[in-house]
Structure 1
């Protein structure tokens, strides 16, 4: 059983972190950043064409991490694969020992660096969750038996507690729970009152661990960029002003992230850390927040 699956079963406070696959053939930087997370996170998320920007495949990058002794969560998006390709990659992930999957719809192609590319979207995240549930039960998308064995994938989903439409948020969350999501990682959280409302009014019904998305902001410019280009992001002006006034904005960003981890500790079941290309600072953030290193069982 994977470390993440054991931690969920034991109802531990969960810590995951995100790493980006390389843009090219050299995984050195990704592996170096992930190596520093050993003993601090239960699992490392490997993005799959995040913001529709081309990078190494999440499947290949996840395997490299797995071979380096780092447990990955392989993100899988519906944008770039048809129904056959999704099933093929899920079977391949299982065979390679990559048993943690995050099922995503995928960011729109127009948002990325290849707007001329064609989107697929045979499925979206809820139907992908249902497909994985079916594969775990030993059947393909057509209901035919998997003659060479069922899969055993732990599948998670994304959630955005800051979605403006409360009814839409509730409906989508409940559909993902029903479709088989075993854990949820949230988008970047800045409104912790909203997170608390989500936890008490919606998430409590699903009985699934919720990990709050905590993002390391490196400067006021970085925060403004995220507000402009990341769908759903809404970093408050008070945080942007705090970063702008700091003599060392990166240190202030670490401090803000640690404060947010502490807030999340009192509200939900874990945190999902995002520190693009500065994953080496995640242990410091966790230390500041009083999150102890993870003990292997």
Structure 2
């Protein structure tokens, strides 16, 4: 474990908001007391040296997982690059959220991915009750207040704080494009410095989202970055799940048809990997800001990047 250099956080923000390449990787903490096995798997892949930050999930789909805050701290100190901590409004009220963010500040956990959070009915903890005191917009307002050394009620806080940097997520597809554009605009207006999309499988959609973000930045005099979500598809079953079960994701018909044929021929992995590589090449021609997702299978991302 190495001592984390806090200046890397500001360097990451500068890189994110410039035209430079920027890669992040999703670490999905399991329901485990130990994360070392997953850390060791990551250390075996050289592409980790190309990463600029991790994003640690916060009990996605309402399922019990290792604490996102503590997993982020372990990642940051183990790999020496910034960790973006996902925080969902689902589980904490404004009192707990403010307390947590104040404590995280002193540990240099200052990159926050603000989510409203998946409903608990999707998860495995039927006794749990959702808080949902507000949406991710409220969390952005809390962060803005803390950056002024104030609580959400305007009361002054003691001590010196370091800047907290808020990010948001956005669906990559919606039947109602006006609604999706409005959500992007609201997130940027509320202070999001970057927007990470759900996985994108269509170049046309990526181009449109980039254009929207650019137009909103010009209108609002902001510098919000758009980061493409990238999840390689290696099976027909995964393609169907993403297309039908994951809100805000669109898998094109040609992908579904090709993977269905490949399934019957026993070549799903090869076909999925090839199409994912072609997609990555096409998206990279637009910009090189990516958030890689692989359900804790780093070997898949290694094959995409071939590092």
TM surpasses 0.5: yes
- Partner residue, 2:249: 233
- Partner residue, 1:29: 37
The Cα offsets for residues 80-100 of structure 1, whole Å up to 9 and x where unpaired, read as: 111111111211221112121
- Partner residue, 1:284: 303
Tell me how far apart the structure 2 counterparts of residues 227 and 115 of structure 1 sit (CA, whole Å).
26
- Partner residue, 1:62: 72
Tell me how far apart the structure 2 counterparts of residues 205 and 78 of structure 1 sit (CA, whole Å).
25
- How large is the RMSD of aligned CA atoms in angstroms? 2.0
Greater shift after overlay, 191-200 or 20-29?
A: 191-200
Q: Between Structure 1 and Structure 2, how many residues are aligned? A: 288
Tell me how far apart the structure 2 counterparts of residues 267 and 273 of structure 1 sit (CA, whole Å).
16
Structure 1 residues 203, 108: closer, same or farther in 2, change over 3 A?
farther
- Which aligned pairs between 1:250-269 and structure 2 lie closer than 5 A? 250-268=269-287
Tell me how far apart the structure 2 counterparts of residues 210 and 34 of structure 1 sit (CA, whole Å).
25
- Partner residue, 1:271: 290
- Partner residue, 1:130: 141
3-state SS of 2:64 partner? coil
CA shift, 1:163, in A, is 2.0
3-state SS of 1:38 partner? helix
3-state SS of 1:39 partner? helix
Give me the TM-score of the superposition, normalised by structure 2: 0.87
**2:180 equivalent among 161, 166, 169:** 169
- Partner residue, 1:290: none
CA shift, 1:202, in A, is 4.5
CA shift, 1:268, in A, is 4.0
Greater shift after overlay, 100-109 or 36-45?
A: 36-45
**2:260 equivalent among 226, 244, 254:** 244
The Cα offsets for residues 115-160 of structure 1, whole Å up to 9 and x where unpaired, read as: 4421101121112112111111211111111112234112211112
Tell me how far apart the structure 1 counterparts of residues 261 and 199 of structure 2 sit (CA, whole Å).
22
- Which aligned pairs between 1:84-163 and structure 2 lie closer than 5 A? 84-163=95-174
The Cα offsets for residues 47-105 of structure 1, whole Å up to 9 and x where unpaired, read as: 00111111001101101101202421111111011111111121122111212111111
CA shift, 1:259, in A, is 1.8
Tell me how far apart the structure 2 counterparts of residues 74 and 135 of structure 1 sit (CA, whole Å).
16
